[in-house]
Chains A and B, each alone.
Chain A
Amino acid sequence: MQDNHKPAAASTAALQLEVAELMIECLNLEITADQIAPDAPLYGDGLGLDSIDVLEVALVVSKHYGLKLRADSADNQHTFNSLRSLSDFIAEQRTR
């Protein structure tokens, strides 16, 4: 898929691992962080998250990194595509 919304800040592997661990803890997923491929889709056929999960993860991520998630900007449509896109968004927006 073409990536039209690449944020300025790219996430590091360490941040991706940290975000994966936050997701696993928050959703009680029965996998380990290294099993979430950075570019696999989080929705549908990939990790299989649904909108309720996204709401949960959004809350945890907002608090942990001191940022706000919104659905109305173009970047945000794209935020939950994959672990990498979510981590990139966090790298760009985090205040702590």
Chain B
Amino acid sequence: MSSLPLLSHATPERIIAWRAGCPVTLRQFMAEVRQLAARFPAGGHLLNMCGDRYRFSVGLAAAILTGKVSLLPSTHTPGVVRQIKVFAPDVFCLTDSDSCTVDLPQSRYPAMAAVDRDDAFSIPEIDVAQRIAVVFTSGSTGTPQPHVKTWGGLVRSVQAEASCLGLLPNSPCIIVGTVPAQHMYGFESTVLMAWSNGYAFCSDQPFYPADICKALAAVPAPRVLVSSPAHLRTLLDAELELPEVSLVVSATAPLSIRIAQDIEALCRAPLMEIYGSTETGLIATRRPTQTAEWQLLSGIKLAVKGEGVQACGGHVETWTTLNDVIEPVAEGKFLLHGRIADLVNIAGKRHSLASLNHLLNTIPGVVDGAFYMPDDTDHDRIARLAACVVAPGLDAARLLTALREHIDPVFLPRPLLFVDALPRNGTGKLPREALQALVKAQSARASG
């Protein structure tokens, strides 16, 4: 059996995390992981809802030590939680919040006992084939599709990531993330990248621009800011003074060149973008102020298969279809030309349009309905979906409540337009142009 260590830090006194301005050593982290592992319920799967990145990380490590699989759905609506329970009936929820409403057996993150410096210390070796996490995509029929992540694949992926970002192994950098650890990007780039390259991460998930500045200021340099276009744009607009940052990382959606340039000017540091997906994890990086071309991580190859492009190699163990329009341009390089028509990406959350339409049409009282994704008009504004619905007996509030049961709020239609009929053609298909015309006409009527 081949194995890799849980953590790659050089000594027990190295720092793995910063909480409220205080460092946490590897020794303390491992002691708390073992305390939590000893208290875990018997179930083989957990939904790790801890909002504090440090606690999430302790929960993940304790799960790995006890052979439990962490489930990472894209959202936690009641409908999705029910589907998670069908997928893994023994699942329990690890939470650090008093107001967690997830309808699963809950295990409260405990207060930790003090750590004795003389305790035995060791870093566990983990089998590369061990199943660490299952991440879910929306699927096309409304049922989330599972994707298994193994220890070997995850470690290879985040070690290649650090190398592409120009970060040296075991350098003392501290990752401050504005993205949640429960999302594939935050999972890899804020938690696992720190674990497997010997870095530290900040336990906060700062939200407002002033919070981001404060979280950065609370940790020493060199700082790495792992963020998304939505946060970076508001950070720019807030015109605040930022502490020194060595590197800014952005993912979830392409950043406009103007914002990339302004962020580099504000931070006086390079901005690197990451491209990846739930299915593959991250597979490429680029520095948008220098090139439009994406550089694949070492070992990953692309192949044009039918209408799509697939990736394989490195940590991507089987040929996997990429859900974007990709043009390979040279060995290891490609250009990105937007998303495939069925897939919507709002603030880094992806959903299949077919699946959204399926969910809409299963709501009692909906006779016919379709979601519509407007063309990208303003690159830096987050676009919202529209929906046209034939539902004579329903009002908007009831329909939205029913949808909210199943889909993340970012996908809720805005506007939601009630119509007499959808412009379906003779074969029952709904041409995008016809739907677009209907949305325009109805929106104009509503606002006029």
Report which A residues bind B (CB closer than 8 A): 28-30, 44-45, 48, 50-52, 55-56, 58-59, 62-63, 68-72
**Are A69 and B210 closer than 8 Å at their CB atoms?**
yes
User: A71: which B residues are within 8 A, CB to CB?
Assistant: 206-208, 211
> What mask results when residues 192 to 212 of chain B are scored 1 for a CB within 8 Å of chain A, else 0?
000000000000001111110
22 interchain pairs (CB within 8 A)?
Answer: A28-B414, A29-B414, A30-B443, A44-B404, A44-B409, A45-B404, A48-B404, A50-B409, A50-B412, A52-B230, A52-B347, A52-B382, A56-B234, A58-B208, A63-B237, A68-B208, A68-B210, A69-B210, A70-B208, A70-B211, A70-B214, A71-B207
**Are A55 and B410 closer than 8 Å at their CB atoms?**
no
> What mask results when residues 388 to 405 of chain B are scored 1 for a CB within 8 Å of chain A, else 0?
000000000100110010
**Are B237 and A59 closer than 8 Å at their CB atoms?**
yes
Q: Do A69 and B230 form a contact, CB below 8 Å, given A44-B404, A50-B410, A59-B238?
A: no
Q: Do A69 and B208 form a contact, CB below 8 Å, given A50-B409, A52-B230, A56-B234?
A: yes
**Which positions 377-428 of chain B face chain A at CB distance < 8 Å?**
382, 397, 400-401, 404, 409-410, 412, 414-415
Seed contacts A48-B404, A59-B238, A70-B208; 10 additional CB < 8 Å A-B pairs? A30-B415, A30-B447, A45-B401, A45-B404, A55-B208, A58-B234, A62-B238, A63-B237, A71-B211, A72-B214
User: B401: which A residues are within 8 A, CB to CB?
Assistant: 45
Q: Do A55 and B234 form a contact, CB below 8 Å, given A70-B208, A72-B211, A72-B214?
A: yes
User: Does B86 sit within 8 A of A, measured CB to CB?
Assistant: no
User: B382: which A residues are within 8 A, CB to CB?
Assistant: 52
> What mask results when residues 352 to 383 of chain B are scored 1 for a CB within 8 Å of chain A, else 0?
00000000000000000000000000000010
**Are B412 and A48 closer than 8 Å at their CB atoms?**
yes
User: Does B38 sit within 8 A of A, measured CB to CB?
Assistant: no
User: B231: which A residues are within 8 A, CB to CB?
Assistant: 55
**Interface secondary structure of A, over-half rule:** loop
Q: How many residues of B contact A (CB 8 A)?
A: 27
User: B414: which A residues are within 8 A, CB to CB?
Assistant: 28-30
**Are A55 and B238 closer than 8 Å at their CB atoms?**
no
User: A56: which B residues are within 8 A, CB to CB?
Assistant: 234
Q: How far is the CB of B230 from chain A (nearest CB, A)?
A: 6
> What mask results when residues 278 to 320 of chain B are scored 1 for a CB within 8 Å of chain A, else 0?
0000000000000000000000000000000000000000000
Q: How far is the CB of B266 from chain A (nearest CB, A)?
A: 15
Please measure, in the bound complex, the distance between the C-alpha atom of A71 and the C-alpha atom of B404, giving whole angstroms: 25
Q: How far is the CB of A76 from chain B (nearest CB, A)?
A: 8
User: Does B446 sit within 8 A of A, measured CB to CB?
Assistant: yes
A70's partner among B210, B409, B447 (CB-CB below 8 A) is: B210
**Are B446 and A51 closer than 8 Å at their CB atoms?**
no
User: B397: which A residues are within 8 A, CB to CB?
Assistant: 45
User: A68: which B residues are within 8 A, CB to CB?
Assistant: 208, 210
Q: How far is the CB of B76 from chain A (nearest CB, A)?
A: 13
Q: How far is the CB of B432 from chain A (nearest CB, A)?
A: 22
User: A50: which B residues are within 8 A, CB to CB?
Assistant: 409-410, 412
